[in-house]
Structure 1
Amino acid sequence: MFDFRQLRYFVTVAEELSFTRAALRLHISQPPLSQQIQALERDLGVLLLERSKRKVALTEPGKVFLEQARQILAQAELARTRTADAAAGHSGQLRLAYTLSVSFHPALPRTLLRHRQMAPGVDVQLREMNNAPQFAALLANEIDVGFVRTEPRHLQDARKLRLRMIDRERLMLALPSSHPLAARDRLHMSEVAGAAFVTQPREMAATLHDKLTTLANAAGFQPRTVQQAQQVSGLLALVAAGLGVALVPATMRAVHLAGVSYVPLADHGAELLLAVASRADEASPVLTQFLSTVDEFARDSGNL
């Protein structure tokens, strides 16, 4: 059976219509080139080239075989390229989840943009998902990687997962701009002990909800929730309406809403981690490439 080398030799001779020029182009001597073409013809059982002292010409079967040989070589090169891309993590599929609050952090859009530039052949499937469901989906192999705001609650789950820390984001209070504390450079939680709070339901934002309780308890009070909103935009609208104050990550400052002011909290522990979670035993090229992009972002941001 003929091989790829014979196909390349034949295509070169057919394009040059000269064994001498073809040998020069292939950087081989003419005798072995002629021998390989003859072996190809014997294998096929047809004459591909008419040879004379003055010229070389393609036979009719030679013209048909030239078209097929070019297609075979092109397909082989495509297979080589796609295999190399897959090995480098530049093609394939990546199932990625993220919590709602991560949408406002630059880590998500910048990492996705950089990864798309590095690996345009990867099909990234995005899903919005809370922290606990993300950990469960990772363990069930339903997603490949997730942007999370907390660590796994159970030790056995933590052992099966790996977390890359990206940021420890400061927490802020979103206050009505008319609030007496709205112009402050920073606040302590104790200063809003008597304030009304607006929150998202715990099932929508468990980590932030629990942070509010923890920080308030450390300051000596129980937060008083007067209203809830399903979405962050609705939460800030309630703040703008003067119905209460809200605990939010610092990146929420990117949401400019009339009537809302953001003041950083100075309390110890007033921060929200941001990490990328994946299975500890997963080492696919696509995931490895994405995680290297995450590390690059973290280094550029000064968080590594």
Structure 2
Amino acid sequence: MFDFRQLRYFIAVAEELSFTRAAQRLHISQPPLSQQIQSLEQDLGVRLLERNKRNVALTEPGQLFLEQARQILLQADEARHLVSEAAAGFSGQLRLAYTVSVSFHPALPQALLRFGRNAPNVRMQLSEMYTEPQFSALRAGQIDVGFVRNEPAHEADARALRLEVIDREPLLLALPSGHPLATRRRLRMSDVAGQPFVAQPRELAATLYDRLVQLAAKSDFHPQIRQHAQQLTGLLALVSAGIGLALVPTTMRAVRLAGVSYVPLQEPDAHLLLAVASRIDDPSPVLAQFLSTVADLKAARGVPIIVPD
């Protein structure tokens, strides 16, 4: 069976119509070139070239084979390029999950934009998912990477997953604009002890719910949850209606809802983690390329990615 070298040799002779010029073009001597062309013709069982001491010409089968030889080499080059792109993580698929609150954080769109420019041939599959289900989905191989809001609580998850911390995002109190504390520059949790709160159900958003309980406990009270809402934007609607206060990430300032004021908390531990999680044993080149993009983005910023006041 003929090989790629014979095809390249044949194309050179067919285009130059000269064994001498073809040999010079290929940087080889003429005898091995002639031997390879003869071997190719014997393998195919046809004469591809008519030659004498003065002239070389393509036969009709030679004309047809020249077109096919060019196509074969072109397809081989394309295959080589595709394989190289896949090995480098520039093609393939990436299944990415993120919590709802992360959709308001600039890290997510910035990472997607930069990765899209670096690896435009990667098919992205995006899905919203709370943090704990992301850990389970990562271990089950259902997603490749996730933007999460907490470290794994279970030892098995902690052993199987790696986390790249992007930000420790400050938390705010969202208050009705008419609230007596709404104009304060900063608040302590003790300032709102006994006030009604609204929160997401713990079974859906344990991270933020637990942070509310922990911060309140340090100020010697337990938050009174008057109403639940499944989405953060739903919480803000309840705040606007005067039903209660809400603890939210700083990036929720991007939601400009009439009747809602945001006030930073003074507590130094009033923050929410943002990290990228993936399986330690995942060998995917696409995942490696995405994690490299995130690392570059973090290094380029040099500081936590926070939305300004």
- The bucket for the TM-score relative to the shorter chain is over 0.9
- What fraction of aligned residue pairs are identical, expressed as a percent? 69
- 1:175-254 to 2 correspondences below 5 Å: 175-254=175-254
Write out per-residue CA displacement over residues 74-118 of structure 1, whole angstroms, 9 at most, x where no aligned residue: 121111111111111111122211111111111111111111111
Q: 1:117 and 1:193 mapped to 2: Cα distance? A: 48
Q: 2:116 and 2:37 mapped to 1: Cα distance? A: 45
- 1:288-299 to 2 correspondences below 5 Å: 288-299=288-299
Write out per-residue CA displacement over residues 107-133 of structure 1, whole angstroms, 9 at most, x where no aligned residue: 111111111111122222112111111
Task: Give 2:307's aligned residue.
Answer: none
TM-score after normalising by structure 1: 0.94
Residue pair 1:97, 1:134 contacting (<8 A) in 2 also: yes
Task: Give 2:134's aligned residue.
Answer: 134
Amino acid at match of 1:296: D
Moved more, 41-50 or 165-174: 41-50
Q: Match of 1:116, SS?
A: helix
Amino acid at match of 2:245: V
Q: Match of 1:152, SS?
A: coil
Residue pair 1:200, 1:229 contacting (<8 A) in 2 also: yes
Task: Give 1:116's aligned residue.
Answer: 116
Structure 1: where are the runs of 5+ without partners? none
How far 1:31 sits from its partner (Å)? 3.5
Amino acid at match of 2:292: S
Q: Match of 1:182, SS?
A: coil
Amino acid at match of 1:231: Q
TM-score after normalising by structure 2: 0.93
Q: Match of 2:141, SS?
A: coil
Write out per-residue CA displacement over residues 47-68 of structure 1, whole angstroms, 9 at most, x where no aligned residue: 1112244432211111121122
How far 1:271 sits from its partner (Å)? 0.5
Task: Give 1:173's aligned residue.
Answer: 173
Write out per-residue CA displacement over residues 188-231 of structure 1, whole angstroms, 9 at most, x where no aligned residue: 11111132212122223211011111111111111112222222
Amino acid at match of 2:44: L
Task: Give 1:144's aligned residue.
Answer: 144
Structure 2: where are the runs of 5+ without partners? 305-309
Amino acid at match of 2:239: V
Q: 1:175 and 1:16 mapped to 2: Cα distance? A: 81
- 1:64-103 to 2 correspondences below 5 Å: 64-103=64-103
Q: 2:199 and 2:24 mapped to 1: Cα distance? A: 77
Aligned length: 304
How far 1:184 sits from its partner (Å)? 2.0
How far 1:303 sits from its partner (Å)? 4.5
Q: 1:300 and 1:49 mapped to 2: Cα distance? A: 60
Q: 1:269 and 1:179 mapped to 2: Cα distance? A: 25
| Aligned alpha-carbon RMSD (Å) | 1.7
Q: Please state if 1:24 is matched with 2:56.
A: no
Write out per-residue CA displacement over residues 122-163 of structure 1, whole angstroms, 9 at most, x where no aligned residue: 222112111111111111111111111111112232111111
